[in-house]
């Protein structure tokens, strides 16, 4: 149904900083909101995601394109692994 299968919640650590372009205000706000929601989700229900979400949260002050791509991968992984 249009959902791609993703093997892991996050690719290698190096891919987060592969594109260090800072996101514009709108996308940065969306990034922070999604990471904040995932932090709650990870601590309350999906503790195995805590490492990936914490790594993404390190970029909340100045979200970059590479981190946003990894956030999208994590969301795709969650979608493709929903039970």
Domain that holds residue 59: 21-80
**Does residue 5 sit within a domain?**
no
Query: For residue 43, what pLDDT is reported?
Result: 83
Query: For residue 61, what pLDDT is reported?
Result: 96
Confidence check: pLDDT of 36 > 60: yes
**Residue ranges in 4-64 assigned as alpha helix (H):** 25-44, 50-57
Instruction: Report d(CA 61, CA 28) in Å as an integer.
Output: 9
Confidence check: pLDDT of 71 > 70: yes
pTM of the model: 0.82
Instruction: Report d(CA 25, CA 76) in Å as an integer.
Output: 23
What count of other Cβ atoms lies within 10 Å of the Cβ of residue 78? 15
| Enclosing H/E stretch for 76 | helix 65-80
Looking at the structure of the chain, the number of domains it has is 1
Instruction: Specify the 3-state DSSP secondary structure of 22.
Output: strand
Confidence check: pLDDT of 16 > 90: no
**Does residue 29 sit within a domain?**
yes
**Does residue 3 sit within a domain?**
no
Query: For residue 79, what pLDDT is reported?
Result: 86
**Does residue 30 sit within a domain?**
yes
Confidence check: pLDDT of 47 > 90: no
**Does residue 54 sit within a domain?**
yes
């Amino acid at each position: 149904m249009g959902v791609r299968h993703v093997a892991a919640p996050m690719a290698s650590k190096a891919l987060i900083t592969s594109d260090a372009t800072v996101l514009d205000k709108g996308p940065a706000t969306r990034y922070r909101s999604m990471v904040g929601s995932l932090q709650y989700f990870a601590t309350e229900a999906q503790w195995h995601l805590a490492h990936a979400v914490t790594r993404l949260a390190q970029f909340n002050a100045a979200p970059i394109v590479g981190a946003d791509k990894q956030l999208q991968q994590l969301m795709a992984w969650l979608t493709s692994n929903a039970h």
